[in-house]
């Protein structure tokens, strides 16, 4: 079965409290797609965070002494540094303008995933808004999935993705930060290859592979297509959690 990935058009600019299930259903109808068992909806993190009210006005952030010291060290807005620290378990690396942290959700990323781009909030032109990651991306994906399944009567997967850099490559790629009803990791250990060799270490990061593909259609700038429909995912759907993608700290060769 071919893998088909389709952008859904007509998703409006999201405001806090918006019902993403209803907006996705409307966009599916507009795009001419009827959901089927095994389909997956991939959502950009930004629309989930906005709908959940994760916008923060920097004008109301008071930096701690630690944030002030770190901000001065790396020449970064101390108010933003304060939010990074609040969203993180540990600061791992710093350089001018960037803080690499272990996010409170467990993954390593720059600036705790806090975003300036494509973010707007109510207020005057002197106010500056940023967007935090969802509080619980797995839970967000679960709620959206249950809403769509209940409305459409089909078995689905839902994934939330964000753009991340990688320690060993240039450029950003889409990566999963939360999902429901689909595998994150597909374990092929014990299965034979074409020459009957038994695979011993192969585990496929299927969620991240799909996230990267979906991100190509979502884009990184002004595309305005934050939801992607997927049909033909090559692995069976199952209950899954983002935690299965996290490498245990004792196996992390970069720390």
93-139 pLDDT, tens per residue? Answer: 999 999 999 999 999 999 999 987 656 655 555 568 999 999 999 99
- 143 and 234, same structural domain? yes
Round to whole Å and give the CA distance between 220 and 207: 19
- 140 and 17, same structural domain? yes
- 193 and 110, same structural domain? no
- Please report, for the domain that includes residue 190, its CATH number: 3.30.1330.100
Q: Give the end of a domain, one of 131, 165, 187.
A: 131
Q: What per-residue confidence (pLDDT) applies to 105?
A: 94
Query: Two tokens at 37?
Result: 């068992």
Round to whole Å and give the CA distance between 207 and 241: 10
149 found inside a domain? yes
Q: Measure Cα distances from 203 to 11, 73, 206, 210, 250 in Å.
A: 35, 40, 9, 15, 18
Query: Two tokens at 12?
Result: 């409006």
Mean pLDDT, residues 70-91 taken together: 97
- Please report, for the domain that includes residue 65, its CATH number: 3.90.1660.10
138-169 confidence digits (pLDDT tens): 999 999 999 999 999 999 999 999 999 888 89
Is 219 or 31 the better-scoring residue by pLDDT? 31
Round to whole Å and give the CA distance between 11 and 20: 9
Give me the domain span that covers residue 71.
Answer: 55-131
Round to whole Å and give the CA distance between 72 and 31: 49
Q: What is the dihedral of CA 147, 151, 152, 154, to 10 degrees?
A: 50
- 122 and 66, same structural domain? yes
Looking at residue 202, what DSSP letter applies? -
Q: What per-residue confidence (pLDDT) applies to 232?
A: 97
Select from 31, 13, 38 the least CA-distant residue to 145. Answer: 38
- 219 and 177, same structural domain? yes
184 found inside a domain? yes
Q: Are strands 157-166 and 40-44 parallel, antiparallel or unpaired?
A: parallel
Q: What per-residue confidence (pLDDT) applies to 243?
A: 94
Select from 52, 58, 57, 44 the least CA-distant residue to 15. Answer: 52
Q: What per-residue confidence (pLDDT) applies to 220?
A: 67
Q: 189: pLDDT confidence band, cut at 50, 70 and 90? A: confident
pTM for this structure? 0.92
3-state helix/strand/coil string of 100-157 = EEEECCCCEEEHHHCECCCCCCCCCCCCCEEECCCCCHHHHHHHHHHHHHHHHCCCCE
- 189 and 125, same structural domain? no
First-to-last alpha carbon distance for the chain, in angstroms, is: 40
Mean pLDDT, residues 6-10 taken together: 94
- 73 and 180, same structural domain? no
Q: 199: pLDDT confidence band, cut at 50, 70 and 90? A: confident
Contact present, 144 and 45 (Cβ < 8 Å): no
Q: Which helix (H) or strand (E) holds 206?
A: helix 206-218
């Amino acid at each position: 079965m071919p893998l088909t990935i389709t952008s859904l058009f007509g998703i409006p600019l999201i405001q806090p409290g918006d019902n993403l299930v209803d907006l996705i259903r409307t966009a599916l109808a507009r795009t001419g797609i009827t959901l089927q068992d095994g389909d997956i909806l991939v959502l950009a993190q930004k629309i989930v965070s906005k709908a959940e009210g994760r916008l923060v006005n920097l004008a109301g952030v008071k930096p701690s002494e630690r944030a002030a010291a770190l901000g001065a060290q790396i020449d970064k807005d101390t108010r933003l540094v304060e939010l990074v620290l609040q969203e993180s378990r540990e600061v791992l690396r710093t350089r001018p303008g960037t803080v690499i942290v272990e996010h409170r959700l467990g993954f390593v990323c720059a600036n705790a995933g806090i975003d300036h781009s494509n973010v707007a909030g109510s207020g005057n032109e002197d106010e500056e808004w940023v967007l935090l990651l969802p509080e619980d991306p797995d839970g967000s994906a679960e709620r959206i999935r249950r809403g769509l399944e209940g409305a459409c009567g089909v078995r689905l997967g839902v994934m939330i993705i964000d753009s991340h850099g990688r320690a060993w490559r240039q450029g950003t790629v889409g990566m999963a930060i939360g999902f429901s009803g689909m595998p994150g990791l597909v374990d092929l250990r014990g299965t034979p290859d074409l020459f009957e060799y038994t695979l011993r270490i192969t585990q496929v990061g299927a969620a991240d592979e799909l996230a990267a593909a979906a991100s190509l259609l979502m884009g990184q700038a002004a595309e305005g297509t934050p939801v992607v429909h997927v049909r033909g995912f090559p692995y069976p759907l199952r209950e899954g959690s983002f935690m299965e993608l996290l490498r245990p700290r004792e196996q992390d060769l970069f720390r």
